[in-house]
Each structure stands twice: as C-alpha cells, then as structure tokens.
Structure 1
C-alpha cells in the first residue's frame, strides 16, 4: 500500500556553462583609457601649441603661449646680466626642477606609474607584444620558449603565423607616426603636415622622418621592452625612487598559497608570469622587480585564473606596513 506521506523533492541544478574568456577588469579599463588619452595628447600637443619648441621661431610654446627666456632683451642691451640670470632661473630651471620633483615624488610613492599608465612608448610595447604573441606564441623574438597556449582565465590561445602580416606593418606605422609627431615638436605642425600630405617635404624633413622611422621600427620589433628596462632614463629615475621607499606600493604575494599559484593554468604554469610586458616574475622580491611599470596586468591575470577560488587572488596591491611585511615574508622564506 502506497504511503500518503509526501515525498521530498530534491531539486536538480544544472551545471553552469563555461563562462568563456573574461574581459578587462575595471583597473585595466581605466589604464587603457589613460594610455589612449595620453597617446592622443602626445600627437595633438604640438598642433595646439600646448608644448613644443619652434626651431624656426627660436622659442618654446606652452599652453598656447610663447615661452621665452628673456635672453633677447639681454642681447639687445635692454636688461643686465643679473636680470637675465633671474629670467633663466625662473623661466627654465625652476619649472624643470619643480616638475621633476613632482614626478619623482609620484614614483617614490607609487612606482613607475608614468610608464605603465601614460607613456606612449610603453603602450606601443604592449600592443606589439600582444600581436607578436598571436603570431609566434612569444611576446618577443628574444623569448627562449613559446608561452603556454592558455589565457589567464584558462581559455585556449591560438597562434597563427599570418599575424606577422600585422606585426611588421604595425611596428612601421607606429614608428612613422612617432617620427612625424616628433618633427612637429621642432617645426610648425602646419608646415610639417602640409608638406607631408602635399608630397613636398624638404630634404631635411624627409631625411628626419625616414631615418627616425627606420630606427624606431627596429626598436619596436627587436628591443621594445629591452629599451624600457635598460636604456630609458625616465624609467630608471622612477625605479630608483621607488626602490628606495620601503613603504611604496608594490605587488603583494601570499606566499602561504604558493602551491595554488604554480598550478593556476592547465600546464601547471603561472598566469602572472606570462602577461608581464617587461618579462618579470611578479612573485619576486622588490629589487628583482626594479623595472616594474605598475601596469597591474599580473594582478588581473591572477584574478582571472583564481576567479573560481573562494579565497580570491594571490596577488594584490600593498603599501606602507603591508609592503614591508610582504618584503619581510620573502626574506623569511629564503631563510627557511
């Protein structure tokens, strides 16, 4: 005889479908916007006389106004040497020192923010890295081995040699753009662009653009991040200021969960190692991260690779006492 007691119904929950490739997080979206905005500013600044030096006129332009040192009056005998010296101090050295001090102060607290968030050269580095990765499986021709064929979120990444048809033209196009823009910082932009589009460049203008395009093409193709790491004085001074501050913002790593970090990709590789455009290991001591640009791509990679982990990512920004403890943790780990 069947029981009249109601049966307990156990709901069946269908397994969630794969989420697919994860997009940029909010920080990376903001960084991409600032890079694009600064690259645009880099191009249009000479056009609107926001900042350039006019070789023809013999003076600089700043925010649409002529910027002179006042030496013309001294040469004409209208002012004395003392006043001329004061003009040079107030109009040249003081603004330069004030700007440099503010620049170094930012680097002292937060690292190479200019490189990772604004620098138009570094945005080209990242773009060509990604294109070359699609073409060869390596972000640089000097990389010893191809990277594992996985995105940080675990989705497969395919490579296709046909992407070389994009890599080389992109490098040359960036180089040509830079060459033309740099020329407009020295000569009237209207003259440069008028001669360029009209096919009437002078011999010196054509020589400058041609040589500069060739040199930058080689740099973009073969020495992009190497220049940023070993040759850029702007980056060097930022790194020196950053490393000297033990409380500065740095990528913090939870060493106690290191086993999860080493197996976050299907091939038992670390996602954060693969995405760094400077080819650094983000899980290292600060002095080995000397050229870190604070781009945060390693943090996004960790966030994506650990998106199903209830403990969250292993990499986070830390500063002040947390930065000191993070560095102390590395030293303690080495002493064990």
Structure 2
C-alpha cells in the first residue's frame, strides 16, 4: 500500500490527476481545468452571483469534504493516513531500517543502541558499511522529492524535458537545489521529528484521535505484564516514531497506527500460548484504555 501511494504521489502530476499549474494559474484535477471562475468574473463573462457559487462549489466544499474525511478517519481509527498512505512516512521507515543496520539505532538522536537481536531471536550486528547506502538513499529521495514537487507546480513535460536536456531555467535550478538540500537534511537528521512536531496534517489527525475515547488504539494486556520480563522491549525499539507502545494513549499522541509494535510483539511471543500482549482495541476496549489515562492523570495530579 505504501509503495502504491508513493508511486501515485510521483505520477499524479504526470497524468494530470492533480496539480497546480502556475503557468495556467489554476488547478488541474483528473485531466480537467479546476478553476474558481475569477478570471471570467474580471472579464465580465459571469455575474458576481455565479462567481460566489463557484467559490463555494469548487473551492470551499471540496476542502470541507476532503478535510472532513481525513478528520473522521483519524477520529475513528487514528493517523492511518500517516502510517499507511503518506509518502513521507514510507521514506522515514526505509531510511530508519537502513540506519538501524548501519549504527544499531533507527535515528542519530536515539540515546541507546537497540539490542543486537531481531524480534524473532536471531542475532544482529550493526555494520558501518551500510552508511554507503544511507547517504545515496537519502540524497536520491531528496532529489526525487524536489523534482516531483516542482512537477506539481509546473508542467511535468517541461520539467522532465529540461532535466533530460540539462536545460533547466535559473528559477527551476534554484528551486530544485534548495528543495533537495532541505529534504536531504530532513531525511538524514529529522525524519520522525518532522512527523511528530512539524507536520500540520499529522497534528490535526492526532488531535481528532485524542478527542475520541473509543477510537482504535494499540492496547496492552497489562495483567500479563510479567510475560514482558524475557523481552528486550522490542516494541519500543521498533517504533518508527520512537514511542513506547505499552504506554497509555495520551503518551502516544503521535502514534501513526503502523502496527509494527504489534507485529514485533507477536514474533517475540511466538512460543507463548496466550499470544501477543499488544493488539488493536476499539470501542469499549479503547474506552477502558482512555479511562486508564484519566486515572493515571489524576494520580499524577495528586502526587504533585
């Protein structure tokens, strides 16, 4: 699913599925010109009433519809867009995995190394030679993203044609170099930090999710916590957002519902007849997790 949406992100401008053409000064959607009719209003071809209707029908309503769907999905199931669709997050996970192989950590800013074994028990030893893949991988993603973003703003045939002929304009060259440098720095040093603290789309999804006590969440079988004694906190180490999945919901504000912690717990507990300790919960079970949040919050207030 992630690979499919990443390809869609790259190819959408090429096939005129969606882009903003700065030359034409309007959006193109599914091959059709998507305008608000303001040029027609200024030229006197339509009335102010028709222009107002265009603003509502072609501008306001699509934004409300798209935003409403994203917020409803987040309210009900969490940040599914981030964990399953967002092309940025697929880059985050890819570079995380390669960096883990290189230095034994998913991020340069992680304080501790991940224990040198995989969730299935097999041994693992970091190898610095993987750095030779991290740098070109991050640079390749950065270059690709800068080009793709430019094709959302200018005709893709023009951009790819100029690249093939090495005939980019001055402004195109400046945009591509600046964007590629910014993405390279972000991909190398601040991947999950951007997702946690700087992404407005993710923030609004998190707020919607936190507002629903019955929303789907990763639940922890706390009555079986003793089964974690033989584990090396594998669920914590595998989380691409650097969260602790066994915590209460309010401490997992940035969770993207990728489910990697659940898969890892299932591998660790393969020999346990009772199965994994982490699992998806929703509705009444999720409400009980929210109630635990409230009890812990009251306990912290009492202690303070």
Normalising by structure 1, report the TM-score. 0.87
Residue in structure 2 matched with residue 290 of structure 1 by the alignment: 253
- Which residue pairs with 1:263 in the alignment? 230
Q: Secondary structure at the match of 2:28?
A: strand
1:277 aligns with 2:235: no
Matching of residue 131 in structure 1 with residue 94 in structure 2: no
Structure showing the higher helix proportion among its residues: 2
* Deviation, structure 1 residue 46: 0.2
Q: Which runs of structure 2 are paired with 1:1-336 in the superposition (5 Å)?
A: 34-264=1-231, 269-329=232-292
Distance 1:262 1:170 in 2: 37
Q: Is the 8 A contact 1:255 1:329 kept in 2?
A: no
SS at 1:37 equivalent: helix
Provide Cα deviations, 1:184-215, integer angstroms capped at 9, x if missing partner. Answer: 00000000000001111111111111110001
Q: Give CA-to-partner distance per residue, 1:129-149, whole Å, 9 cap, x none.
A: 111111101111111111101
Unaligned stretches of 5+ residues in structure 2: 300-304
- 1:261 CA drift (Å): 1.7
Q: Which has the larger radius of gyration?
A: 1
Residue ranges of structure 1 left out of the alignment (5+ in a row): 1-33
Structure-2-length-normalised TM-score: 0.96
Could you tell me how far 1:256 is from its partner in structure 2? 1.1
How far apart in 2 are the matches of 1:333 and 1:88?
Answer: 48
Deviation, 1:329, is 4.7
SS of structure 1 residue aligned to 2:219: strand
- State the 1:330 CA deviation: 6.0
CA distance in 2, matches of 1:45, 1:227: 24
Deviation for aligned residue 1:153: 1.1
CA–CA distance in 2 between the matches of 1:175 and 1:252? Answer: 36
Go from structure 1 to structure 2 and tell me whether the alpha carbon gap of 1:193 and 1:173 turns closer, same or farther (over 3 Å shift): same
Aligned equivalents of 2:228 and 2:262: distance in 1? Answer: 12
The answer to whether the Cα contact below 8 Å between 1:195 and 1:201 also exists between their aligned partners in 2 is yes
Partner of 2:302: none
Q: Is the 8 A contact 2:214 2:287 kept in 1?
A: yes
Q: Tell me the CA shift for residue 331 of structure 1.
A: 5.9
Name the Cα RMSD after superposition: 1.4
Equivalent-residue separation in structure 1 for 2:119 and 2:106 (angstroms):
15
Offset at residue 82 of structure 1 (A): 2.2
**For 1:277-306, what per-residue CA distance to the aligned partner results, in whole angstroms no more than 9, with x for missing partners?**
000000001110000000000000000000
Could you tell me how far apart the structure 2 residues matched to 1:205 and 1:251 are?
A: 45
How many residues are matched?
Answer: 299
Given that residues 235 and 262 in structure 2 are in contact (C-alpha distance below 8 angstroms), is that contact kept between their aligned partners in structure 1? yes
Cα distance in 2 for residues equivalent to 1:319 and 1:312: 19
- Aligned with 1:240: secondary structure? helix
Which SS does the other structure have where 1:200 is aligned? coil
- How far 1:80 moved relative to its partner? 2.0
